[in-house]
Amino acid sequence: MKKIFGIIILSLFWLGIGFADILRVIDGDTIILNGEKIRFLGIDTPELKQICTQGNQKVNCGISAKMLLIKKIGNHTPECVSGGKDVYKRTLAECFVNKESLSKFLVRSGYAFAYRKYSKKFIIDEDFAKTNKLGMWAMNFQYPWDFRRYHK
């Protein structure tokens, strides 16, 4: 089985396809999977250019959220359950790695927020992160929706 998998991987690289064409992480709540742009349903993560502060330190919390997602996905291919399309024609979905919700993981780690405007599903996870001062809850930050409004 490992030999077959190795041959498939080598063939993909030889054809110039590679893993980057199967999965690409855009930011903390958006991926491209098999050519389909997927926005995680019910959460919002900081924008890539968004800076938070922790004490006197500036933290690029948008990049931190993206890196946390990349690390969590590892070499797995997420399985996503579609919830329709948004106004930008992205697929809205909840995605899982090893049956664990990536959205729940990000919110519970403090690098995503329950996007109450669209869903109430992750409020308990957000409360957990906030109570335990995890991720951005240990920093001064703007909510991503406020950051976008003031930094267009």
Per-residue model confidence as pLDDT tens digits over 11-23: 333 333 444 559 9
The domain that contains 131 carries what CATH number?
A: 2.40.50.90
DSSP 116: T
Angle ∠(92,78,104) on CA atoms, nearest 5: 65
| 11 assigned to some structural domain | no
Range of the domain at 62: 20-150
pTM for the model stands at 0.84
In a domain, 1, yes or no: no
The CA–CA distances, whole Å, from 57 to 54, 60, 92 equal 5, 10, 34
Q: In this structure, is residue 12 part of a structural domain?
A: no
Could you give the number of structural domains in the chain?
1
Phi, psi (5° rounding) for residue 110?
90, 10
Q: Does a structural domain hold residue 124?
A: yes
Q: Look up residue 99 and give its two tokens.
A: 């049956």
pLDDT per residue as tens digits for the range 95-148: 999 999 999 999 999 999 999 988 999 999 999 999 999 999 999 999 999 999
Whole-angstrom Cα distance, residue 68 to residue 8? Answer: 28
Position 21 scores a pLDDT of: 58
- Asked if the structure places residue 85 within a domain, the reply is yes
Tens-place pLDDT, residues 42-83 = 999 999 999 999 999 999 999 999 999 999 999 999 999 999
